[in-house]
Amino acid sequence: MLVVFLLSLAQVILPALALSTPRRGSTSTRDDGNNGIHLAVSPICGPFSGNTSDASAGINYQGFKTIVAFGDSYTDGGREDGGPLPPPVITPPNPEAGGRATDGRVWVEHLAIDINATLMDYAQSGAVTDLSLWPSNPTPADFLDQMTTFLGQSNDLDPDTTLYTIFFGINDYEASKSDGTANLQTAAEVILEQIRILASAPTNARSFLVSDVYGRGVHTPEGDAFVQTIFSGLGDLHAGTNSTGTGSEGPKLNVAFAEFARIWDGVLDGPPGYAAFGYVSTGACIISSTVGECDDPDHYFYYISGHPSKEGHRIMADYVQQVFARCVET
């Protein structure tokens, strides 16, 4: 009887464990282990030759062994030199988990864990594409500085198994409110030019993911044009057009674009609205800078002002993987 009971118990427990354990490269929406927060929107796929959409061309994301990340506070894992990140743990009264602008891992950490890749994170909170474009930006950090750090290390990374992620636009957009919107197009070209540099010797990078949510629920003609320039430029780079900045045909780069605005629009404006994702509020859980002032941080869209909770970062990583799997351009 004991053997029969144990066998029956195993038949119940083992399938449950299988369902709750993330699979390598899984693209399903996650509920178990994410406090009920899950994707309630899906990528809108389209070709790089068209208007901005979610797209992936040539990316074999399950084959990557290393992810090199550039960006702002949404990607900043608490260290800016590509080394091992601090534990994503909150030490009161500081509400930031290991220096992150959230209460746990950021999205690119989840992505790296999901595909068993080593993460080298160079992102800096407050960073813009190029400080010279935005004199009002309060933080002395930009993509160019991150590139200087990375290139100065002379890393020997396999181009075939390394993914470079680039996530800028939020701080450029904010600075454009004071400095004018004319330089948003130049900021887009900065991103494309840095990709060309990475694709050239000695790095010879071949695979890139660019993501964006410049207005965090706000859309403007100038902001949308900024994103469109990046998107169309990625299409040219995939075709091999000036992909290394020499003005001639070059290697055809593997590129993907993830439009995180789908999540922000779905949560803040709907449809489907924040409740469909499992959130109880679209506001920030922590208004000041003291941990513990909010009793339900898991179900607020923002953890601190303008920055997603750790659950939000988890579904951002899920969204990227859906783009990789569903929005394949042949």
Compare 248 and 275 and report the one with higher pLDDT.
275
Of 272, 273, 293, nearest to 284 by C-alpha is 293
**Tokens 């030759």 — which residue?**
49
Task: State mean pLDDT over 198-207.
Answer: 98
Beta-carbon contacts of residue 193 (< 8 Å; ≥ 6 apart) = 245
In the prediction, which pLDDT does 289 show?
A: 61
Give yes or no for residue 247 having a pLDDT over 90.
no
Mean pLDDT of 260-272: 97
CB 309 within 8 A of CB 88: no
pLDDT score, position 287? 81
Inform me whether the pLDDT recorded for 16 exceeds 70. no
pLDDT of residue 185: 98
Task: Give the SS3 label for residue 256.
Answer: strand
Residue 14 has pLDDT above 90, yes or no: no
The pLDDT of residue 26: 39
The enclosing H or E element of 182 equals none
pLDDT the model gives residue 292: 60
- In this predicted structure, which of 91-95, 208-212, 224-228, 238-242 has the lowest mean pLDDT? 91-95
Mean pLDDT over 87-100 rounds to 93
pLDDT of residue 3: 34
Judged against a pLDDT cut of 50, whether residue 11 lies above it is answered with: no
Q: What is the pLDDT of residues 35-80, one digit of tens each?
A: 999 999 999 999 999 999 999 999 999 999 999 999 999 999 999 9
Mean pLDDT (the chain) is 90
> What's the confidence (pLDDT) of residue 93?
85
Rounded mean pLDDT of 181-196? Answer: 98
CB–CB of 220/267 below 8 Å? no
CATH of domain 42-326: 3.40.50.1110
Contacts with 73 (C-beta within 8 Å, 6 or more apart), sequence order: 101, 123, 124, 125, 126, 127, 307
User: Residue 1 has what pLDDT?
Assistant: 35
Q: What is the pLDDT of residue 48?
A: 97
Amino acid at 165: T
Residue with more model confidence, 128 or 287: 128
Q: Report whether pLDDT(251) > 60.
A: yes
Say what the pLDDT of residue 9 is.
33
pLDDT value at position 283? 93
Residues of the chain with pLDDT > 90, as a percent, come to 83
Residue with tokens 């909150």: 90
Residue 209, strand partner residues: 165, 256
Confidence of residue 19 (pLDDT cuts 50, 70, 90): very low
Mean pLDDT of 173-196: 98
Residue 29 in this model has a pLDDT that exceeds 60: no
Domain ranges of the chain: 42-326
pLDDT tops 80 at residue 13: no
> Could you tell me which residues come within 8 angstroms of residue 82 by beta carbon, excluding any fewer than 6 positions away?
68, 120, 121, 122, 149, 150, 153, 155
